[in-house]
Amino acid sequence: MTDRIYNFSAGPAVLPESVLKQAQKDIWNLAGSGIGVLEHSHRGKVFEKVLDQAERDCRDLAMIPDNYKVLFLQGGASQQFAMIPMNLLPKDRTADYLVTGVWSEKAVKEAKVYGTVHEAASGKSCNFTRIPTAAETKYSAKPTYAHFTTNNTIYGSQWTTEPTPPAGVPLIADASSDIFSRPIDIKRYGLIYAGAQKNLGPSGVALVIIRNDLAEAGPKEIPTIFQYRTFVAERSLYNTPNTFGIYAMGLVFKWIKERGGLQAMAEQNQRKAKVLYDHLDQSKMFRCNIEPGSRSLMNVCFRGPDEEMENRFIAEATKRGFDGLKGHRSAGGMRASIYNAFPVEGVEALVAFMREFEKGAGS
Ligand code: PMP
């Protein structure tokens, strides 16, 4: 038996057990150096190796072409909401945003500080219960880029394929909650970013994959620390980075590689989510409001008959060792976040508990 419970948190989220065990050792003494990973200088040889390896494994995993840079930045995905328009949206230009939830809306808000935003599509009118279709998406005449959120952590919807902006318009993705959960064709993007704390590691570090021309495109008048070129020139070491975050991401990249890479993750994630959605679709008590075809494989959101029953379910589940099932405060209901590292047995155990709860409530 283990002293750990099933953690359905949306992020920071569950990490692979082998990663945590390795980190326990390396916190004490990293690579025989006599110094723990938290204590190493970011400019020393030992950390340099950690950074190199993390970048290499990241590139291998996602087959990142040579004309893209891999950056490990601070400020989370939220800083990217601002850095992107700061660097890529001149005052007199328009950027297109595809709005599919709270996080896209936050990205829009930041972009409006710098230039004009055109909402090329919005799921607001249907309460974000599905991803807009291509036919519903209307791009502006000459957007400087098109931004979308690959997976909507709060509502539990996910794009199955990328939107296709007009030729030559860089596609930018906030992939915070599904990065590396499936194969990704980097060439289709100008920039991809993700806070690490769901699929990649601990909080406090964001992965940014950016095409070279975009990394150099920003104005030089903005603060140095907000220019992508700064981190390209300094290989993410402009200032002291989140060394532990980068180290832990490196371990997670290795773990994904050992498990068969992104295709294997995708297959496992399909299987895992299916167990839960299949149950929801036949349940008389619980339901998923997201339309099939738009449902997230990462954040499975569901509702009960009323709030009282939902609260009872969450409380009972917590007692039984299923933690983090309460939906986001802005959405209510329940949310089971089942990222790459979440074990299939945990999903099966949750479904068994849901069955039992439903039966008990009906009798
Ligand atoms: N985008 C998405 C899709 C998210 O789920 C989150 C966090 N839950 C964010 C952005 C914000 O990330 P951070 O807290 O790293 O700024």
Q: What is the domain-level CATH number for residue 229?
A: 3.40.640.10
List the CATH number of the domain containing 321: 3.90.1150.10
Residue 237 sits in the same domain as residue 319: no
Identify whether residues 147 and 230 lie together within a single domain. yes
Domain identity same for 278 and 318: yes
Cβ(107)–Cβ(101) below 8 Å = no
Q: What's the total number of domains in the chain?
A: 2
Domain end point (choices 241, 258, 275): 258
Residues with pLDDT less than 50, the chain = none
92 shares a domain with 51: yes
Nearest ligand 1 atom to the CA of 206 is: 15
Nearest to 71 by CA among 223, 181, 198, 214: 214
The pLDDT value given to residue 2: 78
Residue ending a domain, among 219, 237, 258, is 258
C-alpha–C-alpha distance, residues 149 and 54, integer Å: 25
CA–centroid distance, 77 to ligand 1, in Å, is 5
Report how far ligand 1's centroid is from the alpha carbon of 17 (Å).
Answer: 23
Q: Which residues line the pocket of ligand 1, CB cutoff 6 A?
A: 11, 76-78, 103, 149, 153, 174, 176-177, 195
Q: Please tell me whether residues 91 and 193 are part of one structural domain.
A: yes
Q: Which atom of ligand 1 is nearest to the CA of 203?
A: 15
Determine, yes or no, domain membership for 196: yes
SS3 (DSSP) at 79? helix
* 305 and 234 belong to one structural domain: no
Atom of ligand 1 nearest to the CA of 197: 15
For residue 12, being part of any structural domain is answered with no
What is the best residue among 72, 83, 103 to mutate for testing ligand 1's pocket, by most ligand atoms within 8 Å of CB? 103
**Do both 122 and 271 map to the same domain?**
no
CA separation for the pair 26, 203 (Å, rounded): 18
Q: Which residues make Cβ contacts (< 8 Å) with residue 120, sequence separation at least 6?
A: 96, 97, 98, 137, 138, 139, 140, 143, 146, 163, 165
Of the residues 232, 258, 284, the one at which a domain ends: 258
Q: Which domain holds residue 304?
A: 262-362
Segment holding 116, helix H or strand E: strand 116-122
Claim to verify: residue 215 and residue 309 sit in the same structural domain: no
DSSP H/E element including 245: helix 243-258
Domain match, 186 and 46 both: yes
Ligand 1: which atom is nearest the Cα of residue 151?
A: 3
Question: CB under 8 Å to 315, separation ≥6 — which residues?
Answer: none
Q: Domain for residue 9, yes or no?
A: no
Query: Ligand 1 atom 14: the closest Cα is on which residue?
Result: 76
Residues 205, 220 within the same domain: yes
Measure 285 CA to ligand 1 centroid, in angstroms: 30
Q: Say what the pLDDT of residue 362 is.
A: 54
* Residue 354 alpha carbon to ligand 1 centre in Å: 28
Any catalytic annotation for residue 319?
no
Specify whether 198 is catalytic.
Answer: yes
